[in-house]
Amino acid sequence: MEFHRFFFYASIILSISVYLFPIMANSMGINYGQIADNLPLPEDVVPIVKSIGATKVKLYDADPKVLKAFANTGVEFIVGLGNEYLDKMRDPAKAQAWVKQNVQSHLPATKITCIFVGNEVLTFNDTSLSNSLLPAMQSVHTALVNLGLDKQVTVTTAHSLSILETSYPPSSGAFREDLVDCLSETLSFHQKTGSPFLINAYPFFAYKGNPKQVPLDFVLFQPNQGVIDPATNLHYDNMLYAQIDAVYNALASLGYKKLAVHISETGWPSKGDEDEVGATADNAKKYNGNLIKLMSKKTGTPMRPNSDLNIYVFALFNENMKPGPTSERNYGLFKPDGTPAYSLGISSTSNVAGSNTTTGGTNGKPLSPIPTPPSTPTSSSTGYLSISPATERYEFAGTVLLTALILTKMLLW
């Protein structure tokens, strides 16, 4: 039985390495969600992760089976502490017990480098959660210090792009006024401890909300005319880079210009409901394939051309038990049986938007989605389902009206 299983996955990986990922991204990150009842065993996931050239994995919990399976592989891990743990983690003793059991016990064999405490907490509009966020992060960090692990493991949290009040143009990126005080305290923590700022960014939702006005090529990293930020004269030929630079500017406006930004989630669904325009295998292939090409070039955004992007693609597998629209269960690069959900077609690196990003260009107007204060999300709150990605993703469908107006002007220019 074990031999047949090994042979099955070995044959899959051999075909994947030739057919799906002929060019592999350096320092590629991948989100490994497990809201499903039909996924491969963790030990069978190791070669799948390696087949795509991923060197970093982000978990939404600290699953011991996964962490043990990846021992001595050299793959770096970000482990998650769900939103339901925030209040408990305010207690230093409980935080230290959690770190001992879920982090220290796996070191150094498994290379855990970061713990993210809570997912998109500030956009839940839940004061009990938001008030617990920083104290929980501080307690977990203190536990690492006490255990002598703070030099190798950092503490952070992941944010939805909805923490931005404005992102047009990228040079005017700013955080929501109602979140500035809370964010400022968190940012101070990042600066003092040297931990990265994590943001979840999904251009898919801007396109889904206004498919007739948002240029598809712009969101899929396909060749296009692009747009110019009039304040900086920087040229943008894809939406994700514009989103990232809007975050950089928002951070700079609060005095944190040098803070590292990592994209903890981004991806494109290969299938969706009838009203989920753009959720197709072909678009997913273009988005993720072109993104991986750009990551392999190790170039940054127009504003930070020399900064490593540190992007975690969402996600490794399709997850059949995720709530929400059909797209939520179809973000995976792989099907549960370990076969590719689609071919990424990355056998060459030509004709990819972002590969030759420069300043200057034709007169145009910059583009990026304009997040607005979200409504209360309707996500699961049991286990690590509460830290499930996309708890705030649904809001984007109704938040790009301003983007549409901008795009209309751009298209008529």
User: Nearest to residue 196, comparing CAs of 206, 205, 186, 204?
Assistant: 186
How far from chain centre, in Å, is Cα 240?
11
CB half-sphere exposure, 126, CA atoms < 13 A:
17
- Round to whole Å and give the CA distance between 89 and 360: 49
Q: Considering 120, 165, 276, 392, which one is annotated as catalytic?
A: 120
Contact 45, 16 (CB under 8 A): no
- At 304, which amino acid appears? R
Burial class of 183 by CB neighbour count within 10 A (0 to 12, 13 to 18, 19+): buried
CB-CB contact of 206 with 277 (8 Å) = no
**Do 383 and 82 meet the contact criterion of CB atoms below 8 Å apart?**
yes
Identify whether the C-beta of residue 377 lies closer than 8 Å to the C-beta of residue 386: no
Nearest to 114 by CA among 316, 289, 260: 260
How many angstroms separate the CA atoms of 411 and 413, rounded? 6
**Selected catalytic residue, list 2, 76, 165, 265:** 265
Question: Does the annotation mark 265 as catalytic?
Answer: yes
120 is catalytic: yes
What's the DSSP call for residue 39?
Answer: P
In angstroms, the CA 361 to CA 152 distance is 43
Query: With contact defined as beta carbons under 8 Å apart, do 370 and 399 qualify?
Result: yes
Closest-CA residue to 198 (of 232, 161, 245): 161
Alpha-carbon span 204 to 378, nearest angstrom: 20
Question: From start to end of 53-192, where are the E strands?
Answer: 54-59, 76-81, 111-119, 154-160, 164-166, 174-175
Give the closest residue to 133 by CA, choosing from 155, 154, 157.
157
The residues carrying an active-site annotation are 120, 265
